[in-house]
Amino acid sequence: MERTLSIVKPDGVRKGLIGEVIRRFEREGLKVVALKMVRITKEEAKAFYHVHRERPFFESLTDFMSSGPIVPMVIEGEGAIGKVREVMGATNPKEAAPGTIRREFADSIEANIVHGSDSPETARFEIGFFFNALEIHTRG
Ligand code: UDP
Ligand code: MG
């Protein structure tokens, strides 16, 4: 059983897509085992996305991610990391496959509705960034 971190980003929350994102994960048999709504600071956004600190989009991305409430959640299931990324679609909505969240709802490569961890190591860091052990509810 694998765990991953997903986030409904500020644009997804603004557009009323929290339920839509969750529905698409649950439809794939994935389980939500932790969930909250928070607003992170610019500094927290920089810490979360530290792997991208040298990239040209880092300043803009961290402004965007701290621009409003977000909904981080821990998703559990077989192959959860890959499944979540499949449901999300490619980073650039123009390149995302038809039927994916980003293709259907995203406005740009930055404002692309949803986040998903890209590896087990990243998932561990990202889950721990938002949740402690008591906040994660393993389900049968
Ligand atoms: N991003 C951006 N411009 C780019 C690439 C990425 O603004 O050229 C943003 C976008 O919001 C993306 C996030 O930075 O989701 C993290 O980038 P990554 O390459 O990790 O994409 P993801 O894993 O989210 O598909
Ligand atoms: Mg990524």
CA separation for the pair 61, 56 (Å, rounded): 9
Domain count, the chain: 1
What does DSSP assign to residue 133? Answer: G
Tokens 């986040």 — which residue?
A: 115
52-100 pLDDT, tens digit each: 999 999 999 999 999 999 999 999 999 999 999 999 999 999 999 999 9
Structural domain contains residue 140? no
pLDDT for position 50: 98
Tokens of 72: 């981080």
pLDDT for position 12: 98
For residue 37, what are the contacts with CB-CB under 8 A and spacing of at least 6? 13, 69, 70, 71
Structural domain contains residue 138? no
State the pLDDT confidence band at 139, using cuts at 50, 70 and 90.
Answer: low
- The residue range of the domain holding 90 is 2-132
12-64 pLDDT, tens digit each: 999 999 999 999 999 999 999 999 999 999 999 999 999 999 999 999 999 99
| Among candidate residues 76, 71, 83, 73, the one with its CA nearest the CA of residue 28 | 83
With a 6 A CB cut-off, is 67 part of the ligand 1 pocket? no
Structural domain contains residue 57? yes
Ligand 1 nearest atom to the CA of residue 90, by list position: 25
Q: Are 21 and 113 in contact (CB under 8 A)?
A: yes
Structural domain contains residue 139? no
Structural domain contains residue 110? yes
Q: Are strands 31-35 and 2-8 parallel, antiparallel or unpaired?
A: unpaired
> How far does residue 140's CA lie from ligand 1's centre (Å)?
33
- Report the CATH number at residue 76: 3.30.70.141
Catalytic machinery residues: 115
Residue 53 Cα to chain centre, angstroms: 18
111-128 pLDDT, tens digit each: 999 999 999 999 999 999
Which is higher by pLDDT, 41 or 140? Answer: 41
Positive or negative, the Cα torsion across 108, 110, 111, 112? Answer: positive
Phi, psi of 132 (to 5 degrees): -100, 170
Structural domain contains residue 98? yes
Q: In the predicted model, is pLDDT for residue 140 greater than 90? A: no
Structural domain contains residue 31? yes
> How far does residue 97's CA lie from ligand 2's centre (Å)?
17
Q: How many CA atoms lie within 13 A of 52 on its CB side?
A: 15
Q: Are 107 and 56 in contact (CB under 8 A)?
A: no
Q: Is the pTM of this model over 0.85?
A: yes
Ligand nearest to the CA of 9: 1
Structural domain contains residue 113? yes
